Amino acid sequence: MNFSKWLRVSWPVVPILASLIFTTVLLLGFGANPIESFQAMIEGSFGDRSKTLSVLAFWIPMLLASTGLLVTFTAGLWNIGVEGQIIMGAVAASWVALKVTAPSPLLIGMEILAAMAGGGLWAAIVGVLKTRGRVHEIFGGLALNNLAIILTNYLISGPWQPPEGGTFRGTQPFQEAALLPRFAESRFSPISLVFVIIAFGLVLLSLSGTYWGLKLKALGKNPRSAFFLGVSSERETILAMLFCGALAGIAGAVRVLSWFDSLRQSISGGIGYLALLVVMLAMFRIFWVPIIAFFFSAVLNGSITLQLRTQLHSSLGGILTGVMVLFVLLFGNLNALRRKRTEENVEIVDEQR
């Protein structure tokens, strides 16, 4: 592998290294020991088996949402509403868990299908608003995010409140048969790992080896040209949103059926917004997405131990991930930088002439 190709492949690492250096300087500015701080974060993420499993349990729904976002980004869509789609997937799975009695394998299958339908339909609404109502997907997605939160709070404190009375803490615990089997009394479910492997494989195949993936790329690159080539922007927009929403819905089901055992307030944990940062940091390269999502999960889980050990606020993990994305925006895509440099060189030559 020549240097140019190696640099192109490894370019996503540059913002990570830059953000680590920035965070180190920030820690020194607050009088903290950077080595001790980073050690505390590592120990908080991988100090024992339970912590490592917690990292995996948080990583899986984030990766599901990130993988779905690759589809919408390929189609040129900013699916900010993925957060609400996760919530609606959790709500749909919770409805089955609370209302249906069946053997565990059948019940879990029904919950996953319901979650896919809930997240997918919520995303499809954004697609219809964009194609029929000319409402940009960012605004439509944000509005539906808020509606999903309001609906969740209403259900928790109203129709689905526990027998002891309404509360914003959550519904009554689900029946045991409704929960995903968990490993070693942790929040990690091996079945959820199977879900994410299948989802990742489907997206990889769809984007790299199917006619539909080619149409999505054409739509994302140049909608007008795609239209003249016979690509229906309305159909592909709604299908891309539906596909992403279905994967986000599974992420919501994993959250409600393994991380928790009931529908809770803020059930998504901000995973949808984190998934957007993951895909941006990966610069839409599918094989970087699981690595960066795992890094995010480790940083955010380790931040809790950081606060206990060093008295630094756990929000430092959020600062680190946010700074990474900021550096992505600053560094930009390597190919874009090369094009800009080439254009600058051409301008200089023209001026000299």
pLDDT value of residue 6: 66
Min mean pLDDT across 87-91, 148-152, 179-183, 319-323 is at 319-323
Instruction: Please compute the mean of the pLDDT values over residues 157-165 and round it to a whole number.
Output: 81
Domain for residue 15, yes or no?
no
Res 14: pLDDT:
73
The predicted pLDDT at position 61 comes to 96
Higher pLDDT, 180 or 227: 180
**Cα–Cα distance between 255 and 235 in angstroms, integer?**
30
Which amino acid makes up residue 301? N
Measure the CA angle with vertex 51, ends 48 and 56; round to 5°.
125
Position 328 pLDDT exceeds 70: no
pLDDT tens digits along 176-215 = 999 999 998 889 999 999 999 999 999 999 998 788 888 8
In a domain, 296, yes or no: no
Tokens of 341: 């440099």
Please check whether residue 200 is in contact with residue 67, taking contact to mean a CB–CB distance below 8 angstroms. yes
The widest CA-to-CA distance across the chain, in whole angstroms, is 83
pLDDT (0 to 100) of residue 340: 42
- What number is the average pLDDT over the span 203-228? 83
Mean pLDDT across the stretch 61-84? 94
Contacts of 195 (CB under 8 A, 6+ apart): 60, 64, 112, 250, 254
Average pLDDT over residues 45-53: 87
Q: What is the pLDDT of residue 136?
A: 92
Residues 337-352 pLDDT 10s: 444 444 444 344 444 4
Mean pLDDT, rounded, for 295-324: 73
Asked if 34 and 27 touch (Cβ cutoff 8 Å), the reply is yes
Instruction: Return mean pLDDT, the chain.
Output: 84
pLDDT tens, residue by residue, 108-120: 999 999 999 999 9
Higher pLDDT, 10 or 347: 10
In this prediction, residues 83-87 reach a mean pLDDT of 96
Mean pLDDT of all residues in 265-270: 87
Rounded average pLDDT over 44-58:
89
Q: Does residue 49 fall inside a structural domain? A: no
**For residue 346, what pLDDT is reported?**
38
The CB density around residue 286, as the number of other CB atoms within 10 Å, is 17
The more confident residue out of 11 and 277 is: 277
Mean pLDDT throughout 220-244?
82
Q: Report residue 5's pLDDT band, with 50, 70 and 90 as the boundaries.
A: low
pLDDT of residue 331: 63
Q: What is the pLDDT of residue 316?
A: 66
Does a structural domain hold residue 314? no
For residue 265, being part of any structural domain is answered with yes
Decide: pTM greater than 0.75.
yes
Res. 247: pLDDT tops 50: yes
25 confidence band (pLDDT: 50, 70, 90): confident
**Residue 35 one-letter amino acid:** I
Q: Which pLDDT band, with edges at 50, 70 and 90, does 229 fall under?
A: low
Is position 321 within any domain? no
Q: Which domain holds residue 118?
A: 56-291
Q: What is the pLDDT of residue 312?
A: 66
**Does residue 162 fall inside a structural domain?**
yes
Q: Which of 102-116, 151-165, 201-215, 315-329 has the lowest mean pLDDT?
A: 315-329
Judged on CB neighbours under 10 Å (0-12, 13-18, 19+), 174 is buried
Tell me how many domains the chain contains.
1
